[in-house]
Structure 1
């Protein structure tokens, strides 16, 4: 919240988040989820409320859909698609994924994500998170951890230190 010192009202002035929409631009790949929205300008707030979302692309698919991204990478020109970035990309290097590995112990909490890359973003935004293990159980579940801890082979898991 930003308080405007020149305001006459005693009510605080709330500055709406701006995502700097790029019209006719699609952020390619890095999809972590989606939500219905009739206009691209609705996607900013929806992205902020979706774990791991840092950017989005909107299209009129099914009456309007926000496609949530865990980062902004490749950009392409696409008529009818608008995109915006809510948070800057994480600093490189970011999560080097270990396939078929589960980190055991040191659990903080669990979170939903359709892929392991989403867990990386969620962990980076979670205080005390230093690692995670992801499985596609229940549509995708991140097990956020304070540290890597012990490892074990598991074909159902992907893990990373953050």
Structure 2
């Protein structure tokens, strides 16, 4: 009985331990906190262009900062994405398609292997790392761009009734 209880406690303890992705990105990215409103992002990045894509608010900036030690072009893009409550919930950083192998290795070194073999759809390669306490990393390679996405799905859920949702 004591061994079973100890095993259960160890499993629960390890299940809530933050991993490397949460340690790095659990509080946000690029000087922004997860859950920030679009106005906060625009205040931090006034050159950003705010758009809507399928009802999702996006703010796009051109930015050439090095990420993971890889140089990026002044035409490369960073996109900030917001959830249905207009809270910052993801960011996507574009790289040259030639950066895919090195970025892939850097992500493996930092965060371990992706959770499953790559998905390949219409020439697009997608690698996804295991959810780390709400932080989800993915690497996407298309013909013209490689993108690293960092998502955060641990924001407080909205308190809606069935009626609020139309049921």
Using structure 2 for the length normalisation, give the TM-score: 0.22
Q: Which has the higher helix share?
A: 2
Q: Which has the higher strand share?
A: 1
Using structure 1 for the length normalisation, give the TM-score: 0.23
